[in-house]
A and B are shown apart, each in its own frame.
Chain A
Amino acid sequence: MVDVAMVGAGQTPYGTHPAAMKDMWAEAVRDCFASIDGDLAPSSVEEVFLGSTAFGGGQLGNTAAYLAEHAGMAGVPARRIENACASSGFALRDGWAAIASGRADVVVVGGVEKMNDLTPERKRFWLGVSGDTEWERLAGLTFPGTYALMARRHMHEHGSTHDDLVHISVKNHAHALDNPHAHLRKDVSFEKAAGGMVIADPLTLYDCCPTSDGAACVVLASADVARKLTDTPVWMRGSGAAADHLALHDRPSLTTLAATRSAASQAYAQSGIVAGDLDLAEVHDCFTVAELLATEDLGLTDVGQGGRFARNGEGRRNEGRTTVNGSGGLKAKGHPLGATGAGQAVEVFKQLRGQAGPRQVRDAELGLTHNVGGSGATCAVHVFGRSQE
């Protein structure tokens, strides 16, 4: 297999963006190509892998060709990859595979979502389309509901508490204060987060990520090309992906995401590391309980200890072994569904190159991205390193 590296990465701010979807994507692509040390034009890439749910349906068909054209890549083979919130995590995997297999030398991977230009009713429809419509959604469940079921069960089985979830919320909001691209840059106290309005009992407003507009883009290159473009590539050391039952009720456990465990296991094995080696992890905290479960499923703490891990602040930037969601995570950086996985890679790119400014993780050598689709039906995990091996 050919070794693969990220040579450029960029994104728009996340939040309520004044631009249309195509212009957000073009902005992220410009930001990405500007970060490449050597000369590379968008038109010279060989493939485009774009993650998006095409939220709102405004350009549901041929989304990737439409967006590639608007970002200076007309004529480049492009496709949209849809796996709900894990769309660009899987786009990243497909881009990696294209280069690792020797089929391409330079590809663009990214994601985009425009969510905040819809009426509330239309937004609620699109937010629910990635669950099991017939057997889950029509039993009243949205994603806050499915994650609330997981949270309550984890509390029952392992004694975690809502306060543990509050610690995650407070941490990620604090991390986002140092991220100029974050959607929610505000200090949230423990008391405020603990007293949030209930959305899906036991989850409150401060347990839920916002719906964000945003786009993110990275350029992947084969080892030979990467070395020509930069002296500081970020190496993709491992790629894992897995799927699980779509509906929560079909899974044997509510307190673990089997897809995360499988994808992480693949990525760790390929990269030759264990969870304890990681300096930072950008994990999929669409709800605070999702981060709690991720810390267990990724092996950052033991099964049933996610609550303690959060309570002890072990994921705080530069305090524990591994900084968890140093960007603010989905909770505070924001969650533009199809862009989230690529945005996680952008953050790791900056961290491993020492370009993360005030949110820099000290001596960051190894980073991980964890991107989940829906309530865990799909998951992509990637391990990145400053060194090639």
Chain B
Amino acid sequence: MNLADIEAGVAVHHASNGVIVASRFHMGEARVHAPDADDLTMAIDALEAWHRQGHSGSVSIELSEEERPILTASLPWLTLDEAGSHVVHRFDHGAAVLGRSASFDASGIMVNSDARILVDSEKHTSMQEAWALELSEQNVSQGAYVSDQVHVLGLEARLGMQAQAGPMWPPRGSNADGSLPHEGEAIPLVARVVSWTRLIAAGCPSEFSIRAPVLGGLTSLLVTFDHGPSGVFLHADGHHADVDIDDEVRLVVRRVYAQDGTLRYGRKALLL
């Protein structure tokens, strides 16, 4: 199976009974995860690709205790059911399949050479080591401390883009008249660039101090949503992308940083 189409940063093949997604990043012939992707984000990529085709319903997927709230917050439309009509399979080396079969042979999944992004093996290794260091229990981040409670309370807004009526996003505690904000709809995942910047590694927030030197800095985009609010998002996958004001972006789920030995995920932006 040769995947040639690109959607939301991954190679995709849509079939009548499901979808296959694979990482575009390759080290020689070996497919690897993008710098801020992993098995979980790949599974979310597969489910979002499926949903963009108008599908929804119950899905079975094996998830760890830590992964479950991230996936459910990211995909509020999804019903998780061990006996679901579809099954998500995750594979090493950057691929995920959503289909009706209980098993899937992934050995034939290939990404078309035109769709590949070649990565330097030394850089890839450095990034994996940086994540491991950031994740280690011994690592005490010099960054701002967002407690686990605060982080969890923000998951639906951060990953599912859940807004308050208005729409108002990120969420507020009160309206200007003192009333409690009503729950609104989720914000669409496509937005337009209002401004952007690329920070050199030494200028990045200290939460990113271990990985930013490997990436050569971070690109942040301030984007606005149709009929709604704006937000700031990191560029996904560490691309050295040429961004222009008014470019359209799609928000995808990726690793953002690690704190207290736990990976924290959020939405990042990819140019359409």
Q: A128 to B222, alpha carbons, bound, how many Å?
A: 18
Contact with A along B135-171 (1 / 0, CB 8 A): 0000000111010001000100000000000000010
Contact with A along B184-227 (1 / 0, CB 8 A): 00000000001111111001111111000000001110100000
Q: A148 to B219, alpha carbons, bound, how many Å?
A: 11
Contact call A134/B146, Cβ cutoff below 8 A: yes
Contact call A124/B170, Cβ cutoff below 8 A: no
User: Chain A residues with Cβ under 8 A from B208's Cβ?
Assistant: 140
A125-B144, A138-B207, A139-B233 known; A153-B195 Cβ under 8 A: yes
Contact call A249/B204, Cβ cutoff below 8 A: no
Asked if A121 is at the interface of the complex by the 8 Å CB criterion, the answer is yes
Nearest chain B residue, comparing its CB with the CB of A154: B195
Q: Which has the most chain A C-beta neighbours within 10 Å: B142, B146, B208, B209?
A: B142
Contact call A133/B222, Cβ cutoff below 8 A: no
User: Chain A residues with Cβ under 8 A from B128's Cβ?
Assistant: none
Asked if B230 is at the interface of the complex by the 8 Å CB criterion, the answer is yes
Indicate which residue in B143, B196, B203, B207 contacts A149 across the interface (CB closer than 8 Å).
B196
Contact with B along A182-202 (1 / 0, CB 8 A): 000000000000000111111
Contact call B209/A124, Cβ cutoff below 8 A: yes
Indicate which residue in A134, A145, A150 contacts B220 across the interface (CB closer than 8 Å).
A145
Q: A136 to B231, alpha carbons, bound, how many Å?
A: 8
Contact call B205/A249, Cβ cutoff below 8 A: no
User: Which residues 118-137 of A have a CB within 8 angstroms of B?
Assistant: 121-122, 124-125, 128-129, 133-137
A137-B207, A139-B220, A199-B203 known; A156-B195 Cβ under 8 A: yes
User: Chain A residues with Cβ under 8 A from B222's Cβ?
Assistant: 149, 248-249, 254
A133-B144, A134-B170, A156-B195 known; A200-B230 Cβ under 8 A: no
Asked if A39 is at the interface of the complex by the 8 Å CB criterion, the answer is no
Indicate which residue in B206, B219, B230, B232 contacts A125 across the interface (CB closer than 8 Å).
B206
Contact call B199/A199, Cβ cutoff below 8 A: yes
Asked if A247 is at the interface of the complex by the 8 Å CB criterion, the answer is yes
Q: Tell me the minimal C-beta distance from B235 to chain A in angstroms.
A: 8
User: Chain B residues with Cβ under 8 A from A250's Cβ?
Assistant: 229-230
User: Chain B residues with Cβ under 8 A from A122's Cβ?
Assistant: 142
Q: A329 to B231, alpha carbons, bound, how many Å?
A: 31
Asked if A356 is at the interface of the complex by the 8 Å CB criterion, the answer is no
Contact call B195/A152, Cβ cutoff below 8 A: yes
Indicate which residue in A128, A152, A153, A199 contacts B144 across the interface (CB closer than 8 Å).
A128
A140-B234, A247-B232 known; A201-B142 Cβ under 8 A: no
Contact with B along A157-199 (1 / 0, CB 8 A): 0000000000000000000000000000000000000000111
Contact call B205/A141, Cβ cutoff below 8 A: yes
User: Chain B residues with Cβ under 8 A from A137's Cβ?
Assistant: 144, 205, 207
Q: A121 to B207, alpha carbons, bound, how many Å?
A: 10
Asked if B180 is at the interface of the complex by the 8 Å CB criterion, the answer is no
Contact call B266/A138, Cβ cutoff below 8 A: yes
Q: A247 to B197, alpha carbons, bound, how many Å?
A: 16
Q: How many chain B residues touch the partner (CB < 8 A)?
A: 35
Contact call B229/A249, Cβ cutoff below 8 A: yes
Indicate which residue in A128, A134, A150 contacts B205 across the interface (CB closer than 8 Å).
A128
Q: A248 to B233, alpha carbons, bound, how many Å?
A: 12
Contact call B206/A201, Cβ cutoff below 8 A: no
Asked if B245 is at the interface of the complex by the 8 Å CB criterion, the answer is yes
A124-B142, A153-B245, A249-B229 known; A142-B194 Cβ under 8 A: no
Asked if A367 is at the interface of the complex by the 8 Å CB criterion, the answer is no
Q: A127 to B238, alpha carbons, bound, how many Å?
A: 24
Contact call B231/A138, Cβ cutoff below 8 A: no
User: Chain A residues with Cβ under 8 A from B245's Cβ?
Assistant: 152-153, 156
Contact call A140/B205, Cβ cutoff below 8 A: yes
Q: Tell me the minimal C-beta distance from B251 to chain A in angstroms.
A: 11
Contact call A142/B200, Cβ cutoff below 8 A: no
Asked if A144 is at the interface of the complex by the 8 Å CB criterion, the answer is yes
Asked if B256 is at the interface of the complex by the 8 Å CB criterion, the answer is yes
Nearest chain A residue, comparing its CB with the CB of B234: A140
Asked if B257 is at the interface of the complex by the 8 Å CB criterion, the answer is yes
Indicate which residue in B144, B194, B197, B233 contacts A148 across the interface (CB closer than 8 Å).
B197
Q: Which residues of B contact A (CB under 8 A)?
A: 142-144, 146, 150, 154, 170, 194-200, 203-209, 218-220, 222, 229-234, 245, 256-257, 266
Q: Which residues of A contact B (CB under 8 A)?
A: 121-122, 124-125, 128-129, 133-142, 144-145, 148-150, 152-153, 156, 197-203, 247-250, 254
24 contacts between A and B (CB under 8 A): A122-B142, A124-B206, A124-B209, A125-B144, A125-B206, A128-B206, A138-B257, A139-B220, A139-B234, A139-B266, A140-B204, A140-B208, A141-B232, A149-B220, A152-B245, A153-B194, A198-B200, A199-B203, A201-B197, A201-B198, A203-B197, A249-B232, A254-B195, A254-B222
Shortest beta-carbon contacts, A-B, top 7: A148-B197, A139-B232, A140-B220, A249-B230, A149-B195, A121-B142, A140-B218
Contacts A152-B245, A153-B195 aside, 8 further interface pairs with beta carbons under 8 A come to: A125-B143, A135-B231, A141-B232, A145-B199, A148-B197, A200-B200, A201-B197, A254-B194
